[in-house]
């Protein structure tokens, strides 16, 4: 008997490109390199395979540059995930990508600590650093200038 795959690539891609509510920002009044920590201990999303709810905590830590995240808009953004089927890894990375694109922080870490299911606890950590991005972009530019390869997208 041939075994079929239960999870498909469509499950893995679920929600990755879906439109989400806008995340608003406000102008940062202090440029001293302080860190902001935002915790949402009652985060919920949906498993793209089973449709069952997933529960966990999303922890966002960032050092703002010119903009800070407006919390009410962030709350509405995070509530959207309650109706969207996405794997833990996709949820955590999507939140990081959207927040970085919105507020352009100096540094940001998004941690998704999901509730134990079937005896397995899952924690996903996604990170962004503007310094490492600038280093990657400059080394890529240097490689292209020296004929060392095609340009590549940096996320």
Whether 153 has a pLDDT exceeding 60, the answer reads no
- Residue 110, domain member (yes or no): yes
Its domain, for residue 61, covers 23-145
- Residue 55, domain member (yes or no): yes
Domain count, the chain: 1
Is 54 catalytic? The answer is yes
- Residue 32, domain member (yes or no): yes
**Mean pLDDT value of segment 70-97:** 94
Whether 89 has a pLDDT exceeding 80, the answer reads yes
Q: How far is CA 46 from the centre of its chain?
A: 16
- Residue 28, domain member (yes or no): yes
b/e string for 93-123 if b means 16 or more Cβ within 10 A? Answer: bbbbebbbebbebbbbbbbbbbeeeeeeebe
Whether 12 has a pLDDT exceeding 90, the answer reads no
The CATH number of the domain where 34 resides is what? 3.30.1130.10
Q: Does residue 83 or residue 43 have the better pLDDT?
A: 43
pLDDT digits (tens, 9 = 90+) for 97-121: 999 999 999 999 999 999 998 899 9
**Candidates 9, 10, 54, 98; catalytic one:** 54
Confirm if 39 and 89 have CB atoms less than 8 A apart: no
Task: Give the residue ranges of DSSP H helices in the chain.
Answer: 9-13, 71-79, 88-103, 130-145
What string of DSSP letters covers 45-62?
EE-TTT--EEEEEEEEEE
- Residue 8, domain member (yes or no): no
- Residue 79, domain member (yes or no): yes
Whether 139 has a pLDDT exceeding 90, the answer reads no
**Candidates 47, 68, 97, 98; catalytic one:** 47
**Mean pLDDT value of segment 87-96:** 94
Q: What is the pTM of this model?
A: 0.77
Confirm if 44 and 86 have CB atoms less than 8 A apart: no
pLDDT value of residue 19:
74
- Residue 85, domain member (yes or no): yes
Report which of 107, 21, 114, 115 is spatially closest to residue 61, judged by C-alpha positions.
107
- Residue 112, domain member (yes or no): yes
pLDDT value of residue 29:
94
């Amino acid at each position: 008997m041939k075994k079929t795959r239960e999870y498909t690539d469509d499950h893995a891609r679920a929600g990755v490109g879906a439109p989400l509510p806008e995340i608003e920002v406000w102008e940062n009044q202090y440029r001293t390199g302080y860190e902001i920590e935002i915790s949402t201990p009652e985060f919920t999303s949906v498993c793209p395979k089973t449709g069952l709810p997933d529960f966990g905590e999303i922890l966002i830590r960032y050092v703002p540059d010119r903009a800070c995240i407006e919390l009410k808009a962030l709350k509405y953004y995070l509530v959207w995930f309650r109706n969207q089927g996405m794997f833990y890894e996709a949820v955590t990375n999507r939140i990081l990508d959207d927040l970085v694109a919105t507020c352009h922080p100096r540094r940001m870490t998004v941690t998704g600590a999901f509730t134990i299911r079937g005896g397995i606890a899952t924690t996903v950590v996604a990170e962004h650093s503007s310094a490492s991005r600038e280093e990657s972009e400059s080394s890529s530019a240097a490689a292209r200038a020296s004929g060392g390869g095609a340009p590549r997208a940096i996320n």
